């Protein structure tokens, strides 16, 4: 059995048996881990009120080779992201993010890949806890989360033949995004393909900017009307294709931070 001592964000926590908890953790060194915290609901010494969702923790535990579950022995609170807990839009957006990370984070990653995904998680929770979330931030953070999870959509060139839309094409020109291939497709390549989502070039460029800037800059970005609705639909279809089911947090998120604009093309 090998020791684990690193940081983690708690993605999900469920009661188990009389006094235990099973927790899903995104760790800085080992990627996603499922762990059992024995006696967690009794021991305030080892787990002083720490096993709540969103919490950033310093953890100690053990990994058994080839076992699917780790043992969490201690957890100390590093950051509770308090700003997420008293405002419905922040809470809903953070819940959506951690649920997506829980569903799509690969198990068994390590090293720089684990560290990068952990850093994205910390930075995005910190951002959501500080700003006033709007629908643009919702859409762009969903995009960045997919990118951090290794599912970066190809927005600049045809994902099948590599053709790049000419620079003089009007921003209102509609191109097709192929959900299964995860990128735009040119007109000849789009023939006979199913699962296409139409999107204007101008909207694609705004999404591409959202992929490349800092997370902090997303708080300043604005997508409105048709562009917002198109971007939201593309992200929704792409996310659902990879997650496969409706996330538990999705309905509440749509209630408090709606992205569907009336009359959107
Ligand atoms: Zn093509």
- 115 shares its domain with 245: yes
Q: Which of 29, 60, 80 is the C-terminal boundary of a domain?
A: 80
Please tell me the predicted confidence (pLDDT) of residue 69. Answer: 87
- 232 shares its domain with 163: yes
pLDDT band, residue 223 (cuts 50/70/90): very high
Please tell me the predicted confidence (pLDDT) of residue 65. Answer: 78
- 40 shares its domain with 116: no
Domain presence at residue 119 = yes
User: How many A from CA of 138 to the centre of ligand 1?
Assistant: 30
Q: Please state whether beta strands 174-178 and 31-37 pair in parallel, antiparallel, or not at all (unpaired).
A: unpaired
- 116 shares its domain with 246: yes
Q: Which of 80, 97, 130 is the C-terminal boundary of a domain?
A: 80
Domain encompassing residue 161: 111-256
Return the C-alpha torsion angle 224, 226, 231, 234, nearest 10: 160
Domain presence at residue 222 = yes
- 190 shares its domain with 124: yes
What's the CATH code of the domain at 215? 1.20.1440
Q: What is the pLDDT of residues 92-143, one digit of tens each?
A: 999 999 999 999 998 878 889 999 999 999 999 999 999 999 999 999 999 9
pLDDT at 265 over 60: no
**What is the pTM assigned to this prediction?**
0.94
User: How many A from CA of 233 to the centre of ligand 1?
Assistant: 22
pLDDT at 263 over 70: no
- 60 shares its domain with 9: yes
pLDDT band, residue 59 (cuts 50/70/90): very high
Q: Which of 32, 61, 80 is the C-terminal boundary of a domain?
A: 80
Domain presence at residue 264 = no
Q: What is the pLDDT of residues 232-243, one digit of tens each?
A: 999 999 999 999
Query: Which carries the bigger pLDDT value, residue 146 or residue 265?
Result: 146
Domain presence at residue 60 = yes
pLDDT band, residue 43 (cuts 50/70/90): confident
- 63 shares its domain with 176: no
User: How many A from CA of 180 to the centre of ligand 1?
Assistant: 15
Closest CA to 160 of 194, 196, 190, 202: 190
Domain presence at residue 105 = no
Please tell me the predicted confidence (pLDDT) of residue 64. Answer: 82
- 14 shares its domain with 140: no
Domain presence at residue 261 = no
Q: Percentage of the chain with pLDDT > 70?
A: 97
Backbone φ and ψ for 136, nearest 5 degrees, come out as: -60, -45
Number of folded domains in the chain?
2
User: How many A from CA of 190 to the centre of ligand 1?
Assistant: 7
Task: Work out the average pLDDT over 55-66.
Answer: 92
Query: Which carries the bigger pLDDT value, residue 109 or residue 191?
Result: 191
Backbone φ and ψ for 185, nearest 5 degrees, come out as: -130, 145
- 145 shares its domain with 241: yes
User: How many A from CA of 224 to the centre of ligand 1?
Assistant: 29
Return the C-alpha torsion angle 113, 118, 121, 122, nearest 10: -140
Spatial distance between the Cα atoms of 238 and 236, rounded to a whole number of angstroms: 6
Please tell me the predicted confidence (pLDDT) of residue 80. Answer: 96
User: How many A from CA of 164 to the centre of ligand 1?
Assistant: 9
- 7 shares its domain with 117: no
Please tell me the predicted confidence (pLDDT) of residue 264. Answer: 41
- For all residues of the chain together, what is the average pLDDT? 93
- 170 shares its domain with 115: yes
**Residue the block writes with tokens 């910190």:** 126
What's the CATH code of the domain at 52? 2.40.50.140
Domain presence at residue 91 = no
User: How many A from CA of 131 to the centre of ligand 1?
Assistant: 40
User: How many A from CA of 226 to the centre of ligand 1?
Assistant: 25
């Amino acid at each position: 059995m090998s020791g684990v001592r690193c940081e983690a964000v708690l993605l999900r926590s469920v009661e188990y048996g009389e006094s235990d908890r099973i927790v899903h953790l995104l760790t800085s060194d080992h990627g996603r881990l499922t762990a059992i915290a024995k006696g967690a609901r009794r021991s305030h010494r080892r787990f002083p009120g720490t096993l709540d969702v969103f919490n950033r923790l310093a953890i100690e535990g053990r990994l058994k080779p080839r076992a699917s579950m780790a043992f969490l022995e201690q957890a100390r609170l590093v950051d509770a992201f308090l700003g997420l807990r008293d405002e419905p839009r922040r809470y809903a957006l953070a819940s959506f993010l951690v649920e997506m990370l829980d569903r799509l984070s690969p198990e068994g990653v390590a090293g720089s890949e684990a560290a990068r995904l952990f850093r994205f998680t910390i930075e995005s929770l910190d951002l959501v806890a500080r700003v006033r979330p709007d629908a643009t931030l919702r859409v762009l953070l969903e995009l960045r989360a997919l990118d951090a999870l290794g599912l970066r959509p190809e927005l600049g060139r045809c994902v099948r033949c590599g053709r790049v839309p000419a620079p003089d094409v009007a921003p209102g020109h509609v191109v097709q995004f192929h959900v299964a291939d995860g990128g735009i497709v040119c007109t000849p390549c789009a023939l006979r393909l199913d699962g296409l989502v139409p999107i204007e070039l101008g909207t694609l460029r705004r999404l591409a900017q959202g992929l490349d800037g800092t997370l902090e800059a997303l708080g300043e970005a604005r997508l409105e009307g048709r562009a917002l609705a198109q971007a939201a639909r593309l992200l929704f279809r792409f996310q659902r294709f990879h997650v496969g089911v409706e996330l538990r947090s999705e309905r509440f998120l749509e209630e408090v931070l709606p992205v569907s604009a009336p009359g959107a093309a």
